[in-house]
Amino acid sequence: MNRRDFTKQACLMCLGAAILPAALSGCQSTHYTTGTLEQNGISVLKSEFTYLQKDQLQMRSYIIVRNDKLEFPIYVYRFSDTEYSAVLMKCAHQGAELSASGDHLHCPSHGSEFDNRGNMTQGPAEKNLRSFKVLANAEKLFINLS
């Protein structure tokens, strides 16, 4: 390796070391919770949406409720402290479990996509996802499954 190649490679490594942490800090891992089963629904603490980053309280845009009593997980999206959506992560095409990615849901089977309210944005699915009413109080959300 000559001096020019060495310098080029060293610069690329430094650039990667500088960019990678910044890129990763923008990625939030998906947060799962079991919630608490109640009559006609499931409740979730609003605090499930919070996390600490550099001693600052941050808000997640969504969480996933995964409970043994549910056939499919529920994607819960936070629009504001009082407005949330909750949709069943079961594809409206042939019933595969969806993947959540930020403000949309994607089907790994045939590529259907849905927005954060469960509206179909790309086929082959032709229907929206099943969604549930969400009631919010100061501390909790209640997802009405009835």
β-strand partners of 76: 63, 86
Closest to 46 in 3D by CA, of 27, 22, 38, 57: 57
Number of residues in contact with ligand FES under rule CB under 6 A: 11
Q: Is 130 in the site for ligand FES (CB under 6 A)?
A: no
Give the helix ranges, DSSP H, for the chain: 3-25
Nearer to ligand FES, 43 or 109 (CB): 109
Instruction: Tell the smallest beta-carbon distance from residue 74 to ligand FES (Å).
Output: 17
Kindly identify the residues of this chain, within the stretch 61-100, that bind ligand FES according to CB under 6 A: 91, 93-94, 96
Q: Is 104 in the site for ligand FES (CB under 6 A)?
A: no
Closest to 84 in 3D by CA, of 40, 42, 132: 132
With beta carbons less than 8 A apart as the criterion, state whether 114 and 129 touch. yes
Nearer to ligand FES, 7 or 94 (CB): 94
Instruction: Tell the smallest beta-carbon distance from residue 123 to ligand FES (Å).
Output: 8
| Strands 32-33 vs 62-65: parallel, antiparallel or unpaired | parallel
Amino acid at 60: R
Task: Give residues in contact with ligand FES (CB under 6 A).
Answer: 91, 93-94, 96, 107, 109-112, 124-125
